[in-house]
Homo-oligomer: A and B are copies of this chain.
Amino acid sequence: MTQATNITPLFNNLAKIERDRNVACHACSLYSLCLPLGLNNNDLVRLDNIIERSQNHKRGHTLFTSDQPFRSLFVVRSGSFKTTISAKDGRDQVTGFYFPGEFIALDAIHQQNYQSNAKALESSSVCELPFNNLEEIGKEMPQLQIQMLTRLSKELAGDKNLMLLLGKKTADEKLATFLLSLSKRFQERGFSATDFQLSMSRGDIANHLGLAVETVSRLFSRFQEEGLILIAGKALSIKDIEKLRLMCG
Contacts and interface: CB of A to CB of B under 8 A. Distances in A.
A214 interface: no
Interface stretch (A148-156, A178-186, A232-240): A148-156
A153 B95 contact: no
Interface stretch (A40-48, A121-129, A160-168): A160-168
A107 B116 CA distance: 20
A111 interface: yes
A210 interface: yes
B168 A159 contact: no
A210 B152 contact: no
How many protomers of this protein does the assembly include? 2
Contacts of A152: 106, 109, 149, 152-153, 156
A95 B160 contact: yes
A139 B142 contact: yes
A213 interface: no
Q: For chain A, which range describes its interface: under 10, 10 to 19, 20 to 34, or 35 or more residues?
A: 35 or more
A207 interface: yes
A164 B107 contact: no
A20 interface: no
Contact of A91 (B108, B208, B249): B249
Contacts of A115: 157, 160
B160 A159 contact: yes
Nearest 3 interchain pairs by C-beta? A167-B210, A109-B153, A166-B166
Given A93-B163, A106-B156, A115-B157, 18 more contacts: A87-B168, A88-B249, A91-B168, A92-B164, A93-B164, A93-B168, A107-B157, A108-B157, A110-B149, A111-B153, A138-B145, A139-B145, A145-B145, A148-B149, A152-B152, A152-B156, A155-B156, A162-B163
